[in-house]
Amino acid sequence: MLELPLFKRCFFCSFDRSCDTLLANPATALVVPAIGIIVFALWGFLPLVKDIRNRFDHGGNWKKSPTYLISSSYLQPLLLWTGATLICRGLDPVVLPSAASQAVKTRLLTFVRSLSTVLATAYIMTRRLWQRFCFLMQTHLPDLGIRRLTISYS
């Protein structure tokens, strides 16, 4: 058996104790997956969808594809909203020592739930309106005989 230096043994011992303490708390078991959903939505979702799209469909610009528009405009905000809601749900059963701190926790969680819902809904609706506007501009401008004006800053 290999002897580990004292520093490594202390590090692994304290790391094991920290993990045991975190896993003993029931709120941790509910919050960690929600944080995972948020991290996945921010950094893993769009690359995964892009990779799946590239495996099945090999053509076109990724940023202009319908897959990208749907994923970034609707699915990613819903994943972020789900993560925020699950974090709040995981922190609900935590009991704080005083009534005042419990009231602050309740108000803060209610605020985060409401804010995440409003922001997700506003983002989705804004993207939907912008896509509708761009579609109408592309389809109706030639019919009306109106040309697009572009300003060149060069």
pTM of the model: 0.74
- For the chain, domain boundaries: 30-90+97-136
Is the pLDDT assigned to residue 146 strictly greater than 70? Answer: no
pLDDT tens, residue by residue, 15-29:
677 667 666 777 888
pLDDT tens, residue by residue, 92-132:
888 888 999 999 999 999 999 999 999 999 999 999 998 88
Q: How is the chain classified by DSSP, letter by letter?
A: -PPPPHHHHHHHHHHHHHHHHHHHSHHHHHHHHHHHHHHIIIIIHHHHHHHHHHHH---S-STTSHHHHHIIIIIHHHHHHHHHHHHHHHHTTPPPSSHHHHHHHHHHHHHHHHHHHHHHHHHHHHHHHHHHHHHHHHHHHHHHTPPPP-----
